[in-house]
Amino acid sequence: MASTDGHSGTEKHSPLEQFEISPLVHFETSIGDLAFTNSSLTMVITVVAIILFLTLTVSTRSIIPSRMQIMSEMSYNFIAQLLNDTVGDQGKKYFPFVFAIFMFVLVGNMVGMIPYSFTFTSHIIVTFALAAVVFIGVTVLGFMKHGLHFFSFFIVPGLPWYMLPILIPIEVISYLARPISLSVRLFANMLAGHTLLKVFAGFVLPLGIIGVVPLAFIVALTGLEILIAFLQAYVFAILTCLYINDAIHLH
Amino acid sequence: MNNETHKINELKNKIEHIENKKISKSKLKKQSNASFGFKISTELVSALVVGVGIGLIVDKYLGTKPFGLITFFILGAFAGILNIYRVMRRIEKQQ
């Protein structure tokens, strides 16, 4: 609330304005306002876009695929290959999980690249929730596969016993750091990229004729941003695969 | 004879073409070095954040004011370096 009062006078277009959450529909409950926000709206759009894309493109099931069918088959193959390379045959079971996360992050990033839309992956609470699902899921998977033997994951093999009191806390900290590094990477990349775009966009009009230079820069930067949007979804998916591999095989 | 040299030249051109493609691909990889550096730094920082967090919680509930933070900060730093080492080893394996 305070931020909307702060820049109403002098600064009209703050580069951070695009990240502001505004409620669209209010749901008053006993624990507070669970509003349907612009962030929720983009998430719904993302999910609907994924479902439409995947169902409509493969509905014809032709042997000689159309361009759109190739696109959805490629995205399927991409994750299936990734899972096969990192986890192996046992990883096939977890394909729906990894594919859902990959598509959600990728299409979410891409929807965020459309002008005037909202990038929900630029909010740490969204990416942290995704990372927490991966982290808790992988930990539960490890316990289901190995029982209490899962704790041997924190013991590095081939070390003398007197090193264990130091190394076990280090291993536990490095394990707990996984969801943080996973979420911060995605969030910071999207936040920094979109802020940079807006900052340079703010230079275009005040500079007059020289404004062509930042305009050209924005065009190049938009291309780079789309590359980063894909790369971050890929990194998120590959790290999920690696964590599943760790939970199944232990070391 | 003439036909053969023609064929060899053709093959040469093909090889050069593929070689050029490879070079442009490695250039594309170099561009993502920034994201690679970012990946490494988040590994280090996140381990430190977890270490400091545990240290502060330990201090709060056990009343060992500075020592919990100091110990777990150092352990967090070690964990961060260990994380970086693992990432580097994984990349080394891929190449």
Full domain range(s) for residue B37: 33-95
Q: Which residue has tokens 């909307």? A: A4
Structural domains of chain A, count: 1
Regarding whether B76 and B41 lie in a shared domain, the answer is: yes
Using alpha carbons, select from A203, A18, A36 the residue that is nearest to residue A113: A18
Distances (CA, A) of A27 to A21, A22, A24, A142: 15, 13, 10, 38
Regarding whether B95 and B77 lie in a shared domain, the answer is: yes
Regarding whether B78 and B41 lie in a shared domain, the answer is: yes
Residue A7 lies in a domain: no
Full domain range(s) for residue A103: 19-249
Residue A8 lies in a domain: no
Regarding whether B14 and B40 lie in a shared domain, the answer is: no
Beta strands in A12-127 (DSSP E): 23-25, 28-29, 32-33, 36-37
8 Å CB contact between A246 and A138: yes
Taking only the tens place, the pLDDT of each residue in A182-209 is 999 999 999 999 999 999 988 888 888 8
**C-alpha to C-alpha distance for A163 and A161, rounded to whole angstroms:** 5
Q: Does A159 touch chain B (CB under 8 A)?
A: no
CB contact under 8 A, B43 and A177: yes
Regarding whether B85 and B68 lie in a shared domain, the answer is: yes
How high is the pLDDT of residue B92? 82
In B3-32, the residues whose Cβ lies within 8 Å of chain A are 32
The closest CB to that of A174, out of B42, B45, B47, belongs to B47
Question: Mean of the pLDDT values across residues A2-14?
Answer: 50
Percent of chain A with pLDDT over 70: 94
Taking only the tens place, the pLDDT of each residue in B37-84 is 778 888 899 999 999 999 999 999 998 888 989 999 999 999 999 989
Which residues in chain B are contacts of A181 at CB distance < 8 A? 42-43, 45-47, 83
Residue of higher predicted confidence among B25 and A179: A179
8 Å CB contact between A218 and A200: yes
Residue of higher predicted confidence among A33 and A121: A121
CB contact under 8 A, B75 and A170: yes
Other CB atoms within 10 A of residue A241 CB: 21
On the question of pLDDT at A18 being above 90, the answer is no
Taking only the tens place, the pLDDT of each residue in A70-102 is 889 999 999 999 999 888 888 889 999 999 999
Structural domains of chain B, count: 2
The alpha-carbon radius of gyration of chain A (Å, integer) is: 22
Amino acid, res. A139: T
Taking only the tens place, the pLDDT of each residue in A27-45 is 888 887 788 888 999 999 9
Which alpha helices (H) appear in A147-211, and where do they start and end?
164-204
Give A235→chain B minimum CA distance, Å: 10
Question: Mean of the pLDDT values across residues A109-133?
Answer: 92
Residue A229 lies in a domain: yes
Q: Which residue has tokens 């277009």? A: A13
CB contact under 8 A, B79 and A189: no
Those residues whose C-beta lies under 8 Å from the C-beta of residue A223, and which sit 6 or more positions away, are: none
8 Å CB contact between A39 and A126: yes
Question: Mean of the pLDDT values across residues A215-223?
Answer: 92
Q: Does A18 touch chain B (CB under 8 A)?
A: no
CB contact under 8 A, A173 and B42: no
Regarding whether B50 and B11 lie in a shared domain, the answer is: no
Regarding whether B38 and B81 lie in a shared domain, the answer is: yes
Buried residues in B26-57 as b, exposed as e (16+ CB within 10 A):
eeeeeeeeeeeebbbbbbbbbbbbbbebbbee
Taking only the tens place, the pLDDT of each residue in A52-64 is 999 988 888 788 8
How high is the pLDDT of residue A233? 93
Amino acid, res. A2: A
Using alpha carbons, select from A137, A156, A127, A171 the residue that is nearest to residue A244: A137
Distances (CA, A) of A168 to A137, A156, A163, B90: 22, 8, 9, 21
Regarding whether B37 and B16 lie in a shared domain, the answer is: no
Question: Mean of the pLDDT values across residues A159-166?
Answer: 84
**C-alpha to C-alpha distance for A238 and B47, rounded to whole angstroms:** 20
Regarding whether B85 and B64 lie in a shared domain, the answer is: yes
Question: Mean of the pLDDT values across residues A200-226?
Answer: 90
Distances (CA, A) of A155 to A56, A170, A251: 49, 10, 9
Regarding whether B79 and B52 lie in a shared domain, the answer is: yes
**C-alpha to C-alpha distance for B17 and A73, rounded to whole angstroms:** 29
Those residues whose C-beta lies under 8 Å from the C-beta of residue A243, and which sit 6 or more positions away, are: A134, A135, A138, A178
Residues comprising chain A, all counted: 251
**C-alpha to C-alpha distance for A181 and A232, rounded to whole angstroms:** 12
On the question of pLDDT at A2 being above 70, the answer is no
